[in-house]
Chain A
């Protein structure tokens, strides 16, 4: 059985081997997938391109000319201190926020100039996993996942059921469709949110702090799921996180956002061996360094 199969998210929680949590194995897998990615990726196929992005919120400059390119099929991880604009960057990509200056290009289209109706169409090609999962509380998990299909397609209930169950199976929640969000754990909410994000078969999935508030095992499960989405479904992914273990495990490339621009972009190894004092302080968690902790 291959390493990937061993770590398949389809396995039930009770049968998952504990060995998959060993850092050495995680590292080995990460290196293998990163190598595979850079061997196959077409660096010309840009999915997202941010250029000179500037944003001021409450008289405070958050983004100061951010440049960023995400290529097709990669998982790009954005790391950075709290309040440095990681989530703001994602909100610009999804159109929940508009730039003061600069351009945001998604799937080759400059979305800053798109009318709202066209942007709404473009968004159907994206899925977003919010920090809390953002499931609608009055609907079951199944209905939450089915919502985009019911709203935007003319699929029959049978077809919807098939597609929803397929997505729930991807996140190992095929038996929890009848439950309400208040009846499931934080990790399950995130997995259900991910199932909803992929139900429309998007090309791009954006994750906002997917592992925050989760225990290490659950975090690992979400990370494996993120890799599964890239490897099995071929999704391009942008992940915002503080969690360096997660960043190393899932990222093909990692970008450190600092002072409104990318301090460094590189492979996980580049980041680990970074000569930037800011990056080193962040990944080591040191309280003393160029970044003043208030």
Chain B
């Protein structure tokens, strides 16, 4: 007869095997989708991709921009009063711009897309899976990865960086409203500081992070959906997992990618890029 410890060890073992199995599947799915992405040139797949761009990106625009504006406003509000005590309120623009472009813009966009588009993708593919539609594609010799995953993956990898750029801009604009009407910093001063502290490579790294997040969210959502089993309950679980794993992915990869950038910065990568291309770099040191 099993004792409680054996039961616990058994469950733990099964959970670890399931996690490794699913991670392997998601990695395989991602690799397969990347290899098949070339097919996006086929007009029908291109149309499917455009449709996904609309669903995942354009339809998420409103909520993302609203979040971005209020995030910029909160950022300006929380830091503005403190900076004012030290007479440094003129630098609010710099702080909001750097925070938005490096961290908040990409991360906030990714979180919104995980909740909105990732969950929808998992639910959609999960429902298709439990109602035999994915199997129907297979027996018609239509590769489900090519047909279902590739358009979503490409759409998310385009729309997440695109939305991030908009989020950055609207976050900075939101901050300017608080800076002007609550902290009494003139627009001209605010935007001068924004411009002075904005760094092309910092902003680009933020957009690069958004690109990684977009592909990760799509892969996780599709992998969860395509592995959904047991009817409505399974679809619900897949949707929940897509959001939870997606958020964990975004938060953890945000740290790792930021750390990598800091290491590259310490190694003089940014200066090398600026010297090599002749563009970018902060205007003040």
Contact = CB atoms under 8 A, between A and B. Distances in A.
Interface string B108-146: 000000000000000000001001110110111111000
A128 B139 contact: yes
A134 B141 contact: no
Contacts of A188: none
A132 interface: yes
B60 to A, nearest CB: 19
A148 B142 CA distance: 8
A124 B141 contact: yes
Contacts of A252: none
Contact of B141 (A96, A137, A152, A196): A152
Which secondary structure dominates where chain A touches chain B?
mixed
Contact of B140 (A121, A123, A137): A123
Interface string A135-149: 111000000000110
Interface in A77-136: 94-96, 120-121, 123-124, 126, 128, 130-132, 134-136
Contacts of B139: 94-96, 123, 126, 128
A143 to B, nearest CB: 11
Nearest to A208: B132
Contacts of A123: 138-141
A134 B142 contact: no
B262 interface: no
A136 B147 CA distance: 12
A130 B135 CA distance: 9
A5 interface: no
Interface string B140-161: 1111000100000000000000
A22 interface: no
A148 B44 CA distance: 13
A165 B132 CA distance: 24
Given A128-B136, A151-B142, A134 B44 contact: no
A150 interface: yes
Nearest to B146: A151
Nearest to A122: B141
A132 B141 contact: no
B133 to A, nearest CB: 5
Interface in B180-232: none
B133 A136 contact: yes
Contact of B44 (A120, A124, A150, A152): A150
Contacts of A152: 141
Nearest to B138: A96
Contacts of A147: 140, 142
The 3 closest A-B pairs by CB, nearest first: A134-B136, A120-B141, A134-B132
Interface of B: 44, 128, 131-133, 135-136, 138-143, 147
23 contacts: A94-B138, A94-B139, A95-B138, A96-B138, A96-B139, A120-B141, A120-B143, A123-B138, A124-B141, A130-B132, A130-B135, A130-B136, A132-B132, A135-B133, A135-B136, A136-B136, A150-B44, A151-B140, A151-B142, A151-B147, A152-B141, A193-B136, A200-B140
Interface of A: 94-96, 120-121, 123-124, 126, 128, 130-132, 134-137, 147-148, 150-152, 193, 196, 200
